[in-house]
A and B are shown apart, each in its own frame.
Chain A
Amino acid sequence: MSLLKVNELHVYYGSIHAIKGISFEVNEGEVVTLIGANGAGKSTTLNSVAGLLKLGNGNVEFNGKILNGIPAHKIVKEGMALCPEGRRIFQQLTVKENLEMGAYIGDGSTLDEDLNNVYELFPRLKERYKQIAGTLSGGEQQMLAMGRALMSHPRLLMLDEPSMGLAPILVEQIFDIIKQLHSKGTTILLVEQNAQMALKVADRGYVLETGRIVTTGTGRELLHNDMVRKAYLGG
């Protein structure tokens, strides 16, 4: 059953037509990736789904409910969490406070349990829970951003460029975590420039080019697709 269904979505930045009618869906328990070059509209798509951007035409259906026009802070309550591009953790709050903000929509009854789950996934965060988040390294900040997104028990976790700017070993770690989450049944929509890594963990993928979906298939199919190999996997 499809958890997220995007139909003929158009998004505009002023007069710029950034997303030109894309349709895709994410089924329960799947990892789906959107890949594409800079400016293809990957982040714009995620931000529109999350309600941060105004939708032009088309609609976004989540869990059977149309999300058009619902503000971002209410969409979170429907069970969707976006871990945004550039992490955007709260630099001046502590690690623990950041995680608490992730659980903002909760009533606090499962807070300790949820914190422990995140600390289990990212032991580094436990060591540093009192530290001001802005002083963490880039990799730790990414872990914090992912942990923060998980705190709201999302039915759909959207990750925007989680590997951006990280050293190769950290990229491996982040993708390991994504695999772990997948095996636990978390539904994930992943946006990546690192197409190779993304397609390896993904069940299915969509390739975006200047606001349009040009091809789609399973992760494996896309990895071996000639066009995709030439454009995004370096031949």
Chain B
Amino acid sequence: MVSYLINGISLGSVYAIIALGYTMVYGIAKMLNFAHGDVIMIGGYMAFCSTSYLGWPVIPSVLFSVFVCTILGMIIEKLAYKPLREASSLAVLITAIGVSYFLQNAALLIWSSNPKAFPNMVNLPNLVIGDVQISSVAIVTIITSIIIMIALTMFTSKTKLGKAMRAVSEDKGAAQLMGINVNATISMTFAIGSGLAAIAGVLLCSAYPTLMPTTGAMPGIKAFTAAVFGGIGSIPGAMLGGILLGIIEIFAKAYISTQLSDAIVFAVLIIVLIVKPTGLLGKKIAEKV
């Protein structure tokens, strides 16, 4: 029971980190970046290559993976989304799906469809309390995500750039009138989201160590679900949604059915959206005129 809960929180933390990327990008660019899941996969491959082929130690290879994904996120934004800033949201959505397929197929060309065994990145003994055994990967995942959440909350609430990001996500025109460079802010948001995706990729592959070009797709969709579940655009919502989703998934697998667990996860989403269409923490402030 306790170990299920820990595993659920651990999986949920990974969803939360991915969901943060979705929700931040949605908040600022008002678009669903469906290529986000595939950035996770690229992050996984980067860490895999630098450790397995180049023999780098863990920390540098994680940093390398974060670096590559950050740049990748900015390039994707610049080449694929920025030209569509004024286009209809449907065009942007289709483009995002296109980018997603592009990344998957590029990965297929480079690394082939054979699954790669992801190296063990967390070389720590498992924690044993009484008769409960908790994997070290789960602990590292949970701690990492707590650090990320605190750092991100501080960033958006305390720093000038973070506040500017919130200002841009609310009103781009007014933000420009403050002297905020809107394009640079959007680019920075993609950079942060993609950097987080790389970390999520490493954590995810550490827990489920097979790496394929489609590795990012399902977690991407689930994290998107988590972001909507928590209230898309809301950073605390993404955290809460991610963790709840992870717990529900693990408990559904443990007590109900492994095959049906995904169906149960999505059913919960549907129910939440029927009851509270803006998600758990999503809110709409009435406009005063």
Q: Which residues of A contact B (CB under 8 A)?
A: 50-52, 71-74, 76-77, 81-82, 84, 86, 88-93, 97, 100-102, 104-105, 108, 132, 134-138, 141, 148-149, 152, 165
Contacts and interface: CB of A to CB of B under 8 A. Distances in A.
Considering the complex of A and B, which 3 residue pairs feature the smallest CB-CB distances, nearest first? A76-B179, A105-B179, A72-B176
B289 A165 contact: yes
Given A134-B288, A138-B288, A138-B289, A89 B174 contact: yes
A105 B179 CA distance: 6
Contacts of B174: 84, 88-90
Interface in B177-191: 177-182
Interface of B: 160, 163-164, 166-167, 170-171, 173-182, 285-289
Given A90-B166, A92-B170, A81 B177 contact: yes
B288 A101 contact: no
B288 A77 contact: no
Contact of B178 (A71, A92, A104): A104
Contacts of B180: 73, 101, 104
Name which of B174, B181, B285, B287 has the most chain A CB atoms within 10 A of its CB.
B174
B176 A71 contact: yes
A89 B167 CA distance: 9
Nearest to A76: B179
A76 B177 contact: yes
Nearest to A77: B179
Nearest to A141: B288
30 contacts: A50-B177, A51-B176, A52-B177, A72-B173, A72-B177, A73-B179, A74-B179, A76-B176, A76-B178, A76-B179, A77-B179, A81-B177, A84-B177, A86-B289, A88-B177, A91-B170, A91-B285, A93-B166, A97-B166, A100-B163, A101-B164, A101-B175, A104-B164, A104-B178, A104-B179, A132-B285, A134-B286, A138-B289, A149-B177, A152-B178
Contacts of A86: 289
Given A52-B176, A101-B163, 12 more contacts: A73-B179, A76-B178, A77-B179, A88-B174, A88-B177, A90-B167, A90-B171, A91-B285, A97-B166, A102-B178, A105-B178, A136-B288
Contacts of B164: 101, 104
A163 to B, nearest CB: 13
Instruction: Give the one of A71, A90, A102 with max B CB within 10 A.
Output: A90
Interface centre among A92, A93, A152 (most CB of B within 10 A): A92
